Amino acid sequence: MSGVGTVASGPRLPYAEVTAEEAERRRREGRRQAPNLQRAIAHAPQVAQNQAALLWSILDGLDPRLAELVILQQGLLNENGYCWGHHVPVAEDLGYTPEQIRALRDRDLSLLDDDERRVIEYVNAVMARTVNDELFAAMRRQLGDERLVKVTLLVGLYTMINMAQSAMNVPQDEGFGGFECP
């Protein structure tokens, strides 16, 4: 089988246009053009629309700092610099310092508080499929049932998105870094 293990030099699909609804939502929110990954996913418009709707329903009611911490940690565990690079600026805008972000990247949790460290422990366990009763109970006390379900699904959704980005070899968008940032 030729090509097995070969990494493409560019995206494996040309970019498609996002739906008019997605473009309008981005315009209303003052966001720039859709990122490369969304434009790759746009080849399946119904899937792209449902993926966005699922993401927004998961994020609804979650503390944005919590969500970004979860997204950064799963991106790190998935070794996905695309995701990491896109979410570092968001985390900084939400008050995480460059020192905290670098420490997280370097797997040093000393600059995070106890609740944040427990979230990281939970994300690690979800990714490793090793969540035990004690950790689940602790997270349930910390987050409550609805937010715990949302955090768990956020890990899974972003893992799926990371896999799609990797499989389609979607390059980083201009102006974003990878694991070197901040």
pTM of the complete model: 0.90
Tokens 């996913």, residue located: 41
> What ranges in the chain are assigned the alpha helix state H?
20-28, 36-41, 45-59, 64-77, 81-93, 98-105, 114-128, 133-167
Q: Does domain 63-182 have CATH number 1.20.1440.120?
A: no
pLDDT computed for residue 7 by the predictor: 53
Q: Which residues contact 132 (CB under 8 A, 6 or more apart)?
A: 125
| Residue of 84, 76, 82 whose CA lies nearest to 35 | 82
pLDDT computed for residue 9 by the predictor: 72
Cα-trace Rg, the chain = 17
Per-residue pLDDT of the chain (182 residues; tens, 9 = 90+): 334 444 557 889 889 998 888 888 888 877 778 899 999 999 999 999 999 899 999 999 999 999 999 999 999 999 999 999 999 999 999 999 999 999 999 999 999 999 999 999 999 999 999 999 999 999 999 999 999 999 999 999 999 999 999 999 999 999 898 898 76
pLDDT computed for residue 168 by the predictor: 94
Query: Is residue 144 within 8 Å of residue 115, measured between CB atoms?
Result: no
pLDDT computed for residue 181 by the predictor: 73
pLDDT computed for residue 24 by the predictor: 83
Q: How many angstroms separate the CA atoms of 29 and 32, rounded?
A: 9
From-to residues of CATH 1.20.1290.10 in the chain: 63-182
Query: Position 47: which residue type?
Result: V
